[in-house]
Amino acid sequence: MNDSFRFSVRVYWEDTDGGGVVYYANYLKYLERARTEFLRSCGFEQSALQREQNLVFAVVSAQIDYLQPARLDDALRISARLLYASRASLTFAQAICRADRDETKICRAEVKVACLDASTFRPRRIPVAILEELH
């Protein structure tokens, strides 16, 4: 899947610090939601993967560049694009932009997630069906 998946959110008071600016750690939540919805759009709900295939995905690394602040009431668009997949991990290019006319980019990230056995949290191969659907 070469096109970026897009997911929209609005900034609420609970997402911000006392000055109405999104708290830096909350960008990670937005990125996580977009990856989760990306997988769902491909037919893979994470709760079903855990229950039926005993697998979970966990972030093992994230490189984030904060370019501009998001603020209270901003409408945001979060993108997720699979950069590459190995036998046991997926690496995503992600961005957060304001959902306005010029789509101002406020954050960009590269996030690597590992496929883990849900019982032991040890790395395991990503099922072929998942890899095929994601490409």
Active site residues: 17
pLDDT value at position 55? Answer: 97
Q: Is the pLDDT of residue 134 over 80?
A: yes
| pTM beyond 0.75, yes or no | yes
Secondary structure, 3-state, the chain: CCCCEEEEEECCHHHECCCCEECCCHHHHHHHHHHHHHHHHCCCCHHHHHHHHCEEEEEEEEEEEECCCCECCCEEEEEEEEEEECCCEEEEEEEEEECCCCCCEEEEEEEEEEEEECCCCCECCCCHHHHHHHC
User: What are the pLDDT digits (tens) for 116-128?
Assistant: 999 999 999 999 9
Q: Is the pLDDT of residue 30 over 70?
A: yes
Domains belonging to the chain, first-starting first, are: 5-134 (3.10.129.10)
